[in-house]
Structure 1
Amino acid sequence: MTGPVSTFQNTGGIWSQGVYETLKSEGIRLVAFVPDGGHRGLIERSQADPEMRAITLSTEEEGIALAAGAWLGGTKSVMLMQSSGVGNCINMLSLLKTCQFPLLMLVTMRGEWGEFNPWQVPMGQATPAVLSAMGVLVQRVDDPEALPGEVEAALRLAYSTYSPVALLLSQKLLGSKVFGGKK
């Protein structure tokens, strides 16, 4: 007998190849991430690439410090996380803003369209305002076909202005998460 399984309908495989190619062409060599089903395709591509360093984080604020150190060492990075992890890195976001360290955060959103888990709703709804309050430039994307261009523009914004930028990947873009095979 098997237990409930959590899966994404229309997972990131649809858009992850284009985003991965954009990251490569823009010189991203470090991908820091907390494991997340929405980022699965992008994580797997980064892990398989010998020119990229994919680092699994135990918590999101580690990614902020890692990105700052990478930048000081001459390496461009990106951080992958879920909206529920934004609250974990509030204090560390001040490091990016105060020291003018660039970073692109790709944030898979929860607590929106099609959400099944009520625990995801409060932070999902607060994520844009929380990031903005910490000085992060926030952009949102709903269209998977537009995503590679949005990533390219967000990277340019982050690295030419020495600013943290969060690109919020909507739940509509990811597809709704289902639990136990129910829709």
Structure 2
Amino acid sequence: MSVEVPTTWPDTLFDTLKQVGIEQVGHVPDAGHARLIDRCDRDPAIAVTGLTSEEEGVGLAAGAWLGGQRAALLMQSSGLGNCVNAISSLAEAGQFPLLMIITMRGEWGEFNPWQVPLGRAARDVLLAIDCRVLNVHRPDEVGDTALAAARLAFDSSQRVAMLLTQRLIGTKAFR
């Protein structure tokens, strides 16, 4: 008798990234993305690049596209501030598709006041630099939203941010 292991939302997200042909993933280490990063890292068909700044991921994604591959950029909302210029100059002006998967901080039950300002402003910042924004609040929304985000990014050469809200990823407790 086999035991079926329940799929978690990071597993659903990984499966969707594979389905849409993601071959490169750039990330700055983030606890909210830990399982997804691990799944990508263990897959020989995905090149995973650890970044020193989220801004580098925009260049990585543009280079992947020019080389005939699709990339995803994983980051936390606090890292968005590090790559606004690259998104608005390189990705937008160059009309490169950009798929960003952003774990949100500074909203639902946040304990760290340093996370609140950009968490509160992230959506407005993304909209101001002409990115499409899709929010995910529940695990059952992850697969469909990721598929829609990838199609919008790669089929229409758009900058798309999929915001994984704290309601989905959970909150941290300071101890």
TM range (shorter): over 0.9
Which SS does the other structure have where 2:139 is aligned? coil
User: Paired residue for 2:72, among 60, 66, 78?
Assistant: 78
Identity %: 51
Q: 1:153 pairs with 148, 156, 159, which one? A: 148
Other-structure match for 2:94: 99
CA distance in 1, matches of 2:129, 2:34: 27
Q: Could you say which residue in structure 2 is the equivalent of 1:8?
A: none
Distance 2:36 2:112 in 1: 24
Structure 1: how far apart are the matches of 2:33 and 2:115?
Answer: 17
Q: CA RMSD in A?
A: 0.9
Runs of 5+ consecutive residues of structure 1 not aligned to the other structure? 1-12
Alignment equivalent of 2:30, drawn from 36, 41, 46: 36
* Partner residue in 1 for 2:82: 88
Whole-Å separation in 2 of the counterparts to 1:37 and 1:156: 26
TM-score, length-scaled by structure 2: 0.94
Larger RCO of the pair (alpha carbons < 8 Å, separation 6+): 1
Q: Does 1:113 align with 2:108?
A: yes
Amino acid of the structure 2 residue aligned with 1:179? F
Query: For residue 101 of structure 1, what is the amino acid of its counterpart?
Result: F
User: 2:3 maps to what in 1?
Assistant: none
Pick from 128, 131, 138: which aligns with 1:136? 131
Structure 2 residue identity aligned to 1:148: G
| Correspondent of 2:63 among 41, 64, 69 | 69
Question: Distance in 1 between the 2:96 and 2:58 partners?
Answer: 10
CA distance in 1, matches of 2:84, 2:71: 19
Q: What amino acid is aligned across from residue 141 of structure 1 in structure 2?
A: V
Q: Which whole-Å CA distance do the structure 2 matches of 1:99 and 1:166 have between them?
A: 17
Q: TM-score, normalised by structure 1?
A: 0.90
Distance in 1 of aligned mates of 2:43 and 2:130 = 32
User: Does structure 1 residue 50 correspond to structure 2 residue 29?
Assistant: no
Q: Which residue of 2 aligns with 1:173?
A: 168
Query: 1-side partners of 2:108 and 2:19: how far apart?
Result: 32
- 4+ runs of 1 displaced by more than 3 Å? none
In 2: Cα distance, 1:153 partner to 1:137 partner: 11
Counterpart Cα distance in 1 of 2:84 and 2:94: 15
Aligned residues between the structures: 168
Q: Distance in 1 between matches of 2:98 and 2:86?
A: 12
**Equivalent-residue separation in structure 2 for 1:75 and 1:160 (angstroms):** 13
Correspondent of 1:59 among 53, 57, 65: 53
Uncovered stretches (5+) of structure 2, i.e. residues with no partner: 1-6
